[in-house]
Amino acid sequence: MNPPHIQATILIIIIPLMSSYAIPLLGWRWKRSAYFIALTAIGASLVCSLILLSTVLTQGTIHYHLGGWLPPWGIEYVIDPLNGFMGVVVCTISFLVTLSSKKSVEKELPEKKVRFYTIYLLLFTGLMGIVVTGDVFNLYVFLEIASLSAYALIAIGEDGAPLASFNYIIMGTIGACFYLLGVGYLYIVTGSLNMADLAKLLPPLYDSKVVLIALAFFLIGTAIKMGLFPLHVWLPDAYTYAPSAVSSFIAPLMTKVMAYILIRILFTVFKPSYVIEVVPVASILSWIAAVAIIAGSILALAQRDLKRMLAYSSVSQIGYIVLGIGLANKMGLIGAYLHILNHAFMKGCLFSVAGALMYRTGRRNIFQLHTIHRKMPFTMGALVIGALSMIGIPPTAGFFSKWYLILGSIEAQNWVFVAVILASSLLNALYFFRVIENVYFEVSQGGLKEEPAGDPVREVPLSMLAPIILLAAGILLLGLYNERIISGILVLALPRGF
Amino acid sequence: MIDSMMSKYNYWMYIILMMIGFYAMIGKKNLIKKLIGMNIFQTAIILYYISIGVKKGGTVPVLMEGLPRAADYVNPLPHVLMLTAIVVSVSTTGVALAVILLIYRRYKTLEEDEILKSIR
């Protein structure tokens, strides 16, 4: 019999999975229950993930063998510090975003509430599954669970959403299929699917072309899935047209979890020495990332739609994470890990603010928001904190991840990357101050002169406001306590050899 | 060259099929044709996996009298993996068809360029 903290490894998946089946059963009779079941399930997963993280930090890596089958034959769930950290990030953000989704789902999708939360929980299950599993094929299955639910959730959005979703299906399937091919190539040469086992079997085979091709397939697959420039074409439309509750859930988490897959493949399945020295994959990745950072920022500058601007800024932020991974030194990787956490909070906060604006005004055009801070002071305060963090102003979290990325670039003696990060901070400042300017000052014509029909514009209800405030407070706290997070968790999460 | 192509013809078949599917997904304007391309793409990968489990002279992987060695049986694991992949492929097709239905109801067409014209 396993002790309870080990059972948490499987419960983190089982609870949301089973709850997602309970929602249509109970929701058929009691429609209001859907939201509460979803929230309770994600809350329970959050508790499990916290237990797991604290156990991992004190007692070392947890192994859970499904059905008692020993690896490499059976599927194994492995929690190491990196997993535990990712699990807590995904659960925390999901919990806060779900908390805020109640009113906006009631307003935007009144008839589809029950079905919405069913798929929503499946998406959460998929993301958590990717995080906890230690088996490359099991990861593919969870990847598809998460992607399929994301396609469905995006498709229920407004005009343009179905086509955005269809393009995402096509691109996402290509990505997942490439990942599957990578798994197949590794299986041909090693006959194993377990990550730890693969890491043991692969080093003697590093000269083999098959292994090289497998790595190439993994890279392309995950790059498509996380929207790394120039494979990002599905991302802006999908984020823009999705319902606000969905975009504030998918935007902070989906691409981060895909970046986590990339880290796992590069540094757990393959050895860091292989991706740095034998094949210069890491340096190629970091150059692509540098292009992504600048291109994403410039594209964001050209947008008038708030959600689309945030989506393009996601493209550039994914660049930061991949840059950190590609630098492949201690500071760079810490920067990447920290940016996964920070960016999840920042994008969660900013997309929730965009959702709140949609809820009260129905507008997303940046130039139609003027003097809205008088009506919604707290929401706009959160927007400012999120924006400052995206730019990288010191007490906020965004500064510190950029700081570590710059340290990593200096350690790698690559001054181009330092210049890229600084230039992109300036571009971030440009496009976020444009928003802040329009919100706080009367610069543009045609603001909220005519009130939308129905409710007058005022502060959003507490169930929406509280999570936004919490996310904004989180950004500040993560900035203030970043040293403790890094020395307590992230240093332990570095792959061996750093 | 020809010899290596003939001895590994299964890989060449899967690459050809995959590229046909890839072309349809990228090059075609009609959404249903894109979806068919996606199916060909996924099927190519399934065929590839099945072909790597084959052994010359191997038989059904059920333990039989007089055949004690693992080498006498084909490798069943790729088949099992592909059972899952087939389920995934079916559900992807299902979701895609539902989305296509949604698109058709909204725009009354399935040609991508016409839809883009009516969105703008």
pLDDT, one tens digit per residue, over B37-62 is 999 999 999 999 988 888 887 788 88
pLDDT per residue as tens digits for the range A71-113 = 888 888 988 888 889 999 999 999 999 888 888 888 877 778 8
- Name which residue leads in pLDDT, A32 or A448: A32
Q: Which residues in chain A (175-194) have CB-CB distances under 8 A to chain B?
A: 176-177, 180-181, 184, 187-188
Mean pLDDT of A415-435: 88
Predicted local confidence at residue B74, as pLDDT? 84
Predicted local confidence at residue A460, as pLDDT? 77
Nearest to A184 among B49, B100, B115 (CB): B49
State which H helix or E strand residue A62 sits in.
Answer: strand A62-65
pLDDT of A447 > 70? The answer is no
Token code pair at residue B29? 């304007």
Q: Which amino acid is at A76?
A: E
Nearest CA in chain A to B22: A174
Instruction: Tell me what the pLDDT averaged over chain A comes to.
Output: 86
pLDDT per residue as tens digits for the range A226-272 = 888 888 888 888 888 888 888 889 988 998 999 999 999 988 888 88
pLDDT of A443 > 80? The answer is no
pTM of the model: 0.91
In DSSP terms, which residues pair with A78 in a beta bridge?
A63
| Cα(A314)–Cα(A299) distance, integer angstroms | 11
CATH number at residue B44: 1.10.287.3510
Q: What is the number of residues in chain A?
A: 498
> Among residues B61, B58, B62, B22, which one has the least CA distance to residue B42?
B22
Predicted local confidence at residue A261, as pLDDT? 92
Predicted local confidence at residue B96, as pLDDT? 93
* Contact status of B54 with chain A (Cβ, < 8 Å): no
Confidence of residue A373 (pLDDT cuts 50, 70, 90): confident
Which of B99, B101, B105, B117 to probe the A interface (max A CBs under 10 A)? B99
* Contact status of B21 with chain A (Cβ, < 8 Å): no
**How many CB pairs (< 8 A) connect A and B?**
69
pLDDT of A455 > 60? The answer is no
* Contact status of B39 with chain A (Cβ, < 8 Å): no
Percent of chain A topping pLDDT 70: 96
Cβ distance of B103 and A173 shorter than 8 Å: no
Cβ distance of A141 and B88 shorter than 8 Å: yes
Cβ distance of B78 and A174 shorter than 8 Å: no
Which of B8, B54, B86, B88 to probe the A interface (max A CBs under 10 A)? B88
| Cα(A459)–Cα(A117) distance, integer angstroms | 25
pLDDT of A370 > 80? The answer is no
Q: Which amino acid is at A24?
A: P
Cβ distance of B96 and A166 shorter than 8 Å: yes
Domain that holds residue B10: 2-119
Cβ distance of B41 and A177 shorter than 8 Å: yes
Token code pair at residue A316? 């550039």
Q: How many domains does chain B have?
A: 1
Residues of B in contact with A162 (CB under 8 A): 99, 102-103, 106
Angle at A142 between CA A147 and CA A64, to 5 degrees: 160
